[in-house]
Copies of this chain bind each other. A is one copy, B any other.
Amino acid sequence: MKKILIIEDEESILLALEDNLALEGYEVSSATDGEQGFSMAKEHGYDLIILDIMLPKMSGFDICRELRQAGMTTPILMLTAKSQEVDKVLGLELGADDYVTKPFSPRELLARVKALLRRAKQPKKDIDRYRFGDIEVDFIKYEIRKKGKSIYLTALEFALLHFLIKHKEQVVSRDSILDEVWGDEVYVLPRTVDKHIAELRKKIEDKPSSPKYIIGVRGVGYKFKG
């Protein structure tokens, strides 16, 4: 079931949205100010974010831009008050995927939500190069260097790192790691993941015992920050 986050401070609109989307079978969460919304958007893996522009504490613009800069590709649907014609373009320039002007009909909104979700499903593009801290990775050349110095990773370690980066800022469980990195049919103990995480840390962290990039989240799994 698709998860949708709504960031909107006007209660009447928020309620209407929640009802409509819930009726369509989406799992709806909501935030009523910018900061709360921003942190929710960062933490959890929503499939779509509906974002008002005028918000207390942090504007929809800023949320949008920051999320995009953090590499998040979740589709964002902007809500704009009618007068703010200018904002439309700006919103899209910032990385939003679509917008709806208030007041809007539920039908229109649902149509756009569906369209965005459909569009987003497909191209799930893989990262082929990535840079974080003093490290650069090239997943095509299978090269990785730290402070310019090349270091060696095994194929499994590359795959693991790739997975972590693909899900950066998200906490991923050992099981989901096993599923995607090892494959569905292999049976391997979840603890094995820990072992390879440790190897990775040895190689890329400055201080493997207090890691900066690959963070363990007790009881849940791991999270890549970078």
Contact = CB atoms under 8 A, between A and B. Distances in A.
Interface stretch (A16-24, A45-53, A188-196): A16-24
Contact of A106 (B19, B92, B142, B155): B92
B19 A155 contact: no
A65 interface: yes
B95 A171 contact: no
A25 B73 CA distance: 10
Nearest to A140: B170
B218 A25 contact: no
Given A94-B16, A105-B89, A142 B217 contact: yes
Interface range on chain A (Cβ under 8 Å from partner):
35 or more
Contact of A220 (B16, B19, B155, B219): B155
Contacts of A27: 128-129
Contacts of A73: 23
A141 interface: yes
Interface in A34-55: none
A33 interface: no
Given A1-B125, A1-B128, A19-B65, A220 B142 contact: yes
Top 8 nearest A-B pairs (CB, nearest first) are A155-B219, A19-B95, A16-B93, A142-B171, A19-B68, A155-B220, A140-B170, A93-B106
15 contacts: A1-B128, A15-B69, A15-B94, A19-B65, A19-B95, A20-B93, A23-B73, A23-B97, A25-B123, A89-B105, A92-B106, A93-B106, A142-B220, A142-B223, A155-B219
